[in-house]
Amino acid sequence: MKKLFSALLQFHQIKFLPPLWGKVRMGGKNIELSPPPFRHTNWRIRLWRNSSPIKGGGNNWSKALFIFLSLYSFFISQNTVLYGSEVFQDTDTQVVVREHPKTGKPYVSIISHSALSQVDPFERLKGKMSRPDYRMLDPKVKSGEIPYEGPYSSSTKIYVFAATLATLGTVGGAVGLATVPAAATGAAASGGGAYLAGGAAVAGGAAGAAALATRSDSRQDDFIQTSKSESIEKLNNGK
Amino acid sequence: MYSGCASIFGWDIHAPGILSEDFSKKVKPIPERVALYLPPELLAYVSHDRGGRTADPQTYHVGEALGPMLVEGFQAGFEEFILLETEPTSAILKRYGIPYLVTVRIKNFKNRVTWGGHAITVATEALVFDSDLKWLGRFESSGASDAEKVFAKKGGPQVNLNAALENNVLAIVEYLQDSMRRGTWTEIQKETGAA
In a domain, A133, yes or no: yes
Domain match, A168 and A139 both:
no
CA distance B123 to A211: 43
Asked if A132's CB is within 8 angstroms of B83's CB, the reply is no
Q: Which of A58, A82, A106 is a domain's end point? A: A82
CA distance B108 to B105: 9
In a domain, A202, yes or no: yes
The whole-angstrom distance between A70's CA and the closest CA on chain B is 32
Domain match, A106 and A121 both:
yes
Residue range B147-172, pLDDT digits in tens: 888 888 888 999 999 999 999 999 99
Give the other-Cβ count within 10 Å of A9's Cβ: 17
In a domain, A229, yes or no: no
Domain match, A141 and A184 both:
no
Strand, coil or helix: what is A185?
A: coil
Domain match, A142 and A159 both:
no
CA distance A34 to B69: 58
List, in sequence order, every residue forming a beta bridge with B102; answer none if it has no partner: B36, B128
Chain B, nearest residue to A132 by Cα = B20
Classify residue B183 by its DSSP letter. T
Domain match, A144 and A182 both:
no
Judged by a CB distance cut-off of 8 A, whether residue B193 touches chain A is no
Give residues with Cβ within 8 angstroms of B16, minimum separation 6. Answer: A102, A129, A131, A132, A150, A151, B65, B158, B159, B162
Q: Which amino acid is at B41?
A: E
> DSSP labels for B39-53?
-HHHHT--B---SST
pLDDT at B44: 94
Domain match, A37 and A62 both:
yes
Burial grade of A111 (CB within 10 A; 0-12, 13-18, 19 or more): buried
In a domain, A14, yes or no: yes
B54 CB neighbours in chain A (<8 A) are none
pLDDT at B192: 63
Domain match, A128 and A159 both:
no
Domain count along chain A: 3
In a domain, A232, yes or no: no
Domain match, A145 and A162 both:
no
Domain match, A119 and A162 both:
no
In a domain, A234, yes or no: no
Give the other-Cβ count within 10 Å of B70's Cβ: 25
Nearest to A89 among B82, B91, B96 (CB): B91
**Mean pLDDT within B19-42:** 94
Whether the predicted model's global pTM rises above the 0.80 cut: no
Residue range A226-235, pLDDT digits in tens: 333 333 343 4
Domain with A24, as residue range(s), is 2-82
Pick from A28-32, A116-120, A205-209, B134-138 the range whose average pLDDT is largest: B134-138
Domain match, A115 and A144 both:
yes
Classify residue B19 by its DSSP letter. -
Domain match, A6 and A37 both:
yes
Q: Which of A82, A114, A130 is a domain's end point? A: A82
Classify residue A36 by its DSSP letter. P
Using alpha carbons, list the distances in angstroms from residue B93 to A111, A137, A161, B81, B86: 13, 42, 62, 13, 11
In a domain, A78, yes or no: yes
Q: Which of A82, A109, A131 is a domain's end point? A: A82
Domain match, A95 and A70 both:
no
Nearest to B91 among A91, A143, A221 (CB): A91
Asked if residues A111 and A118 have their Cβ atoms less than 8 Å apart, the reply is yes
pLDDT at A135 over 80: yes
ipTM, interface predicted TM-score of the complex: 0.89
Residue range B60-115, pLDDT digits in tens: 999 999 999 999 999 999 999 999 999 999 999 999 999 999 999 999 999 999 88
- Give the phi and the psi of residue B101 in degrees, each rounded to 5: -120, 130
Asked if B154's CB is within 8 angstroms of A155's CB, the reply is no
In a domain, A43, yes or no: yes
